[in-house]
Amino acid sequence: MLRNLLFLLTGLIISNPLYADQVLTTEKLADNIYALIGPITNRDSVNLGNNANFGVIVTNEGVVLIDPGATYKGAQMIHTAIRKITSQPIKWVINSGGQDHRWMGNAYFKQLGATIIASEKAVADQQARLQSQLNRLSGLLSDKEMEGTSYVHADETFSDLKLLEIGNTRLEIYHTGQAHTPGDSYIWLPDHKIMFTGDIVYMDRMLRIGSMSAHKSWISVFKSMADKQPEVVVAGHGHPASLAKAKADTHDYLVFLRQAVMDFIDEGNGMEDIAKIDQSQFSYLTNYNSLKGRNALRVFEELEWE
């Protein structure tokens, strides 16, 4: 009875045009440039997989969307938020990586006529991990919430760099190596000094180093992004902030953990004692308790192969 009531309430919320406001916060970064800020909680029936940040760039030739959400209905949620910003059509969708909320909403925007853009390695990662990501989403969302979700990949791919000159707006999309996922890209708006990083940067919550990640390369990718000296960084998760904040929450954690695990190994410790590593200086980050041990273990495994 309670479960049925919860599903009914969820359905009522989703059908409400104000629903997007309950999940995504719109933040204006500059004239015609916006971030849609999702929650830093897990994927669930309320956010429909949109527990991440998205970018909206309004040009005189249409809207560029950075990341389309994790599901068809999640993409609808993003579209609702965009309609409150502009009536311009969504003409381009950039996938910043291979994680579900970076591409599984592609089909919705493709139906609207958008061109999808992603790095070659992002598309390969999306294809390789489709079933595992689908299994994860299906375990968190109901069949009704997953309704309409299908799997459309990029129309245009690039290896290292994609330049877009759209009307009076210039975007530079860089893939400089594996980070959280193999195909992660950052999107640079040089005229505004604004950087959308996808999952290369996490702020306010602890990043996850998973089997699809490469922590050493991730450090290098971050440095490549930081070399642009952005004034505003829109992370994949967390509130937009300065480069200094991005460095503290992502780069400094990766560098610290790499060195801490190297020291741990040099002292003759085995992975069964990995919890002994003191990561408490990063305890201010959401998900610290649930991710610190898994991150250390993953770095240990990667170092064994270096």
Which CATH number covers residue 69?
3.60.15.10
- With residues binned 3-state (H G I as helix, E B as strand, rest as coil), the percentages for the chain, rounded to 5, are 40, 20, 35
> For residue 90, which phi and psi values (nearest 5 degrees)?
-85, 110
Range of the domain at 148: 2-175
Q: What is the pLDDT of residue 11?
A: 43
Residue 154 belongs to some domain of the structure: yes
Q: How confident is the model at residue 168 (pLDDT cuts 50, 70, 90)?
A: confident
How far is residue 36's CA from residue 8's CA, in Å, rounded to a whole number?
A: 26
C-alpha 67 chain-centroid distance: 8
Contacts of 90 (CB under 8 A, 6+ apart): 62, 63, 65, 79, 82, 109, 112, 114
Kindly state whether residue 265 falls inside one of the protein's structural domains: no
Q: Where are the alpha helices (DSSP H) in 231-280?
A: 243-246, 252-266
Return the pLDDT at 5. 40
In a domain, 164, yes or no: yes
Q: Is residue 285 part of a domain?
A: no
Burial zone of 42 (CB within 10 Å; 0-12 exposed, 13-18 middle, 19+ buried): exposed
Does residue 97 belong to any structural domain of this protein?
yes
Q: What pLDDT is attached to residue 10? A: 41
> Residue 290, Cβ neighbours under 10 Å: how many?
11
CA distances for 180 relative to 96, 110, 125, 202, angstroms: 11, 26, 11, 10
Examine residue 182 and state whether it is found in any structural domain, yes or no.
no
Model pLDDT for residues 86-104, shown as the tens digit of each residue? 999 999 999 999 999 999 9
Whether residue 293 is predicted with pLDDT greater than 90 in this model: the reply is: yes
Residue type, 27: E
Burial of 126 (0-12, 13-18, 19+ CB in 10 A): buried
Total structural domains within the chain:
1
| pLDDT surpassing 50 at residue 4 | no
Whether 155 shows a pLDDT value over 70: the answer reads yes
Per-residue pLDDT tens digits for 217-239: 999 999 999 999 999 999 999 99
**Exposed (0-12), middle (13-18) or buried (19+): which is 88, by Cβ within 10 Å?**
middle
Is 300 among the domain residues? no
**Closest Cα to residue 130, out of 158, 93, 103?**
103
In a domain, 24, yes or no: yes
Taking the CB of residue 141, how many other CB atoms lie within 10 A of it?
23
For the cut 90, the answer to whether the pLDDT of residue 191 exceeds it is: yes
Q: What is residue 22's predicted lDDT score, i.e. its pLDDT?
A: 85
So what's the pLDDT on residue 2?
Answer: 38
Please, what sign has the CA dihedral across residues 240, 241, 242, 248? negative
